Amino acid sequence: MLTNDELAKWDRDSFMHPSTHLAQHARGEAPGKIIQTAEGCHITDRDGNRMLDAFAGLYCVNIGYGRQEVAEAIADQARELAYYHAYVGHGTEASVTLAHMVMERAPAHMSKVYFGLGGSDANETNIKLVWYYNNIRGLPQKKKIISRWRGYHGSGLMSGSLTGLTLFHQKFDLPLDTVLHTTSPYYYRRDDLSLSEEQFTAKCAADLEEMIEREGADTIAAFIAEPMLGTGGIVPPPAGYWQAIEPILRKHDILLIADEVVTGFGRLGSMFGSPHYGITPDIMTIAKGLTSAYAPLSGSILSDKVWTVLEQGTDENGPIGHGWTYSAHPIGAAAGVANLKLLDSLNLVQNAGEVGPYLTAQMAETLGDHAHVGEVRGEGMLTAVELVRDRDSRTFFDAADKITPQVVAAMGRRGVVARAMPQGDIIGYAPPLCLSRDEADTVVQVTADAIKEVLG
Ligand code: PLP
């Protein structure tokens, strides 16, 4: 076995990591952890440090780590048939079964699922299908996509453009000019502090409608949004938000793409976030919880309305010119089938709906009065603690102070992994859906101790 020093050297010398300060990492100033094993909600590194992973990797290990049923399903699939493609109507028992299981769980107006590999490529697929859809309908001008500031939709060329976080744009020449960003539904960070939540919702809706009218509805194809903001800050929508937004889209013949990469498969205490908030999307993006990240797999779930036009398109033009070698990969599909069975048999969606709100409530009770805690918020098994310099005037810390990275590092020394969200001083929590109340108590206590260490 390699020593830790050998591994660290190979890592610095050879490995370009995603979303990493490359220079600091290569100089050895910011070593990451090398994780070796994991079980339930806990991960263990090569030095034997066991940590409660309160972010489930990257909010993806919904069923928890170390589930042997999924490992066996993957191994069985690899032994029987590691790969065959899905082009020209081909499939495997695993991919057809998973498609069936996804559609059993999807809202009734959805029709088919296309499988990709990750959330970013699924959103690339979605936008291509939306463009194809409007071309087939004879509306070639209707191509722009509206996303939201602080939305996160991936980091490809189009998906990174849809993302509304500056880190993912700067120096990459993004966003592409077919993408527009509208107001972020983030009540705590509203510009005008005098607005009530209802007034703020009305402003989000008015801003959207104004953008549509300014650009011309005949140029706008789709609106993409996470049912609840994730990477942009873990922010439940303000009261009445979706009820105000969806009719505007319908009125202007604009498709709604619900990016359910985080909210799908139980995270909000419901199977999907769209029905949770009363939304009827035309396309849904799924990934993460589809396999609980035991193998890479994503999907684009298409409504009857979209599917009918795609069928018409192939009748007129021949096979659809879109596909990846690894679309519907049998190993990902086998992992997905085993994962969805466990999600049901262990009642994990229900647990997320019970223990998640308990975590948020305990966090609010323990930290709500702290002078530097501006807001504690959450929905289902998603919680955020937003830190501020001053609560009363709602002034924020400078990013250069790195307050949240310091708090998260202090939590790590106490054995709990949380995420310093990329924009703003926001501590994010998205534990596996099997989190227990005792584990939630540990997360809260460690957060309180770490905030005390850094901010007093
Ligand atoms: N969409 C949402 C809502 C996400 O949170 C993410 C990733 O966190 C993505 C898309 C991109 O997924 P991936 O990183 O698998 O490409």
What is the pLDDT tens value at each position of the chain, 456 positions in all?
A: 889 899 999 999 999 999 999 999 999 998 889 999 999 999 999 999 999 999 999 999 999 999 999 999 999 999 999 999 999 999 999 999 999 999 999 999 999 999 999 999 999 999 999 999 999 999 999 999 999 999 999 999 999 999 999 999 999 999 999 999 999 999 999 999 999 999 999 999 999 999 999 999 999 999 999 999 999 999 999 999 999 999 999 999 999 999 999 999 999 999 999 999 999 999 999 999 999 999 999 999 999 999 999 999 999 999 999 999 999 999 999 999 999 999 999 999 999 999 999 999 999 999 999 999 999 999 999 999 999 999 999 999 999 999 999 999 999 999 999 999 999 999 999 999 999 999 999 999 999 999 999 999
Nearest atom within ligand 1 for CA of residue 118: 15
DSSP code per residue over 86-130: -GGG---HHHHHHHHHHHHHS-TTEEEEEEESSHHHHHHHHHHHH
Backbone phi, psi, residue 82, to 5°? -70, -35
Report whether 238 contacts 201 (CB < 8 A): yes
Q: Are 373 and 451 in contact (CB under 8 A)?
A: yes
From the CB of 151, is ligand 1 less than 6 Å away? no
Cα 189 to Cα 48, 382, 395: the distances in Å are 40, 18, 10
Residue 39's SS3 state is strand
| Nearest partner of 372 among 352, 392, 354, 355, judged by Cα | 392
Query: Coil, strand or helix: which one is 73?
Result: helix
Ligand 1 centre distance from Cα of residue 117 (Å): 11
Ligand 1 contact, 261 CB (< 6 A): yes
Return the pLDDT at 307.
98
335, 297 Cβ separation under 8 angstroms: yes
Contact 444, 362 (CB under 8 A): yes
Q: Is the CB of 164 under 6 A from ligand 1?
A: no
- Assess whether the C-beta atom of 230 lies below 6 angstroms from ligand 1: yes
The confidence score (pLDDT) of residue 427 equals 98
* Any atom of ligand 1 within 6 Å of the Cβ of 262: yes
| 47: three-class secondary structure by DSSP | coil
What integer pLDDT is reported at residue 31 of this predicted model?
82
Nearest CA to 255 out of 295, 206, 290, 304 is that of 304
pLDDT of residue 176: 98
Whether 256 is in the pocket of ligand 1, judged by its Cβ within 6 Å, is: no
Q: 57: Cβ below 6 Å to ligand 1? A: no
pLDDT value at residue 257: 99
Tokens representing residue 80 in the block:
């029987």
Is this prediction's ipTM beyond 0.90?
A: yes
Which tokens hold the place of 165? 């976080």
- Kindly report the protein residue whose alpha carbon is nearest to atom 3 of ligand 1: 261
* 296 Cα nearest atom in ligand 1: 15
Q: Is 153 in the pocket of ligand 1 (CB under 6 A)?
A: yes
Contact (CB, 8 A) for 144 and 133: no
Taking the centre of ligand 1 as the mean of its atom positions, its distance from the CA of residue 370, in whole angstroms, is 32
- Which residue blocks in 326-385 are alpha helix, DSSP H? 330-345, 348-367
Put the strands of the sheet holding 50-53 in their side by side order: 35-39, 42-45, 50-53, 416-417
Residue with tokens 């310093």: 420
Q: CA neighbours within 13 Å on the CB side: how many for 293?
A: 17
Substitution site in 150, 159, 235, 261 for ligand 1 pocket (most atoms within 8 Å of beta carbon): 261
Alpha carbon nearest to ligand 1 atom 13, residue: 119
Q: Which of 17, 125, 150, 153 to mutate to test the pocket of ligand 1 (most atoms within 8 A of CB)?
A: 153
Take atom 12 of ligand 1 and give the residue whose Cα is closest: 119
Domains of the chain with CATH codes: 33-66+348-455 (3.90.1150.10), 69-346 (3.40.640.10)
What's the gap in Å between 179 CA and the centre of ligand 1? 17
Alpha helices in 168-303 (DSSP H): 197-215, 241-251, 273-276
Sheet harboring 382-387: ordered strands across?
Answer: 373-379, 382-387, 426-429, 419-420
**Does 226 sit in the ligand 1 pocket, CB within 6 Å?**
yes
**Cα(120) to centroid(ligand 1), Å:** 6
Q: How far apart are CA 449 and CA 415, in angstroms?
A: 12
- Closest atom, ligand 1, to C-alpha of 287: 15
What pLDDT does 91 receive? Answer: 96
The edge-to-edge listing of strands for the beta sheet with 110-116 is 110-116, 298-303, 283-286, 255-259, 220-225, 144-148, 179-182
| Residue 229 beta carbon below 6 angstroms from any ligand 1 atom | no
